[in-house]
Amino acid sequence: MLNILEKEHPKVHQNIVNRMDALGIHKHPITALNLIKVINLFLQYKQSPPPLWQKEVTMRRELVAVMLLYFCPEKVYGLLEENSRNGLVKELKQLTGCAHQLISNDISTVLVWYKTYADFKKQITSILEFINKS
């Protein structure tokens, strides 16, 4: 999404980039290699083998929240209102074996949880810090 803004609306793009920088938000490109790296580091942090994602709801939602913050932070912080996460849903669907609608529902849930529940936000922030340091 930011790439489209950069080409079509450079002033809006720069405004969003400046706001992200001010918040200390860094965005990473959605690539298969980056996704696998984040999942592996997530599992390392959780000290867990790959779970059956469809049944491990809490762990799946934590992963979705981490992925959103890592790949689409502008959406989490409300800097963009457009749906900027279709690529992420598609990739998570393939990597976890979960249905598209399940991942989409989890995204809506974790967006609310991250803004509402301090404990959830603290847990996700801790996992993300671990991933960013690795």
42 contacts: CB under 8 Å, gap ≥ 6: 62, 63, 66, 127, 131
Burial zone of 21 (CB within 10 Å; 0-12 exposed, 13-18 middle, 19+ buried): exposed
Could you tell me the two tokens for 64? 């979705």
Q: Residue 26: pLDDT band by 50, 70, 90 thresholds?
A: low
Q: What are phi and psi of 82, to 5 degrees?
A: -70, 160
3-state SS assignment for residue 43: helix
Q: Residue 18: pLDDT band by 50, 70, 90 thresholds?
A: low
**How far, in Å, CA of 96 to CA of 65, rounded?**
14
**pLDDT of res. 42:** 95
Q: What's the whole-number mean pLDDT along residues 80-99?
A: 76
Q: Residue 127: pLDDT band by 50, 70, 90 thresholds?
A: very high
pLDDT at position 84 over 60: no
For the chain, what percent of residues have pLDDT higher than 70? 73
**How far, in Å, CA of 49 to CA of 75, rounded?**
29
Least confident of 16-20, 29-33, 68-72, 85-89: 16-20
**pLDDT of res. 79:** 47
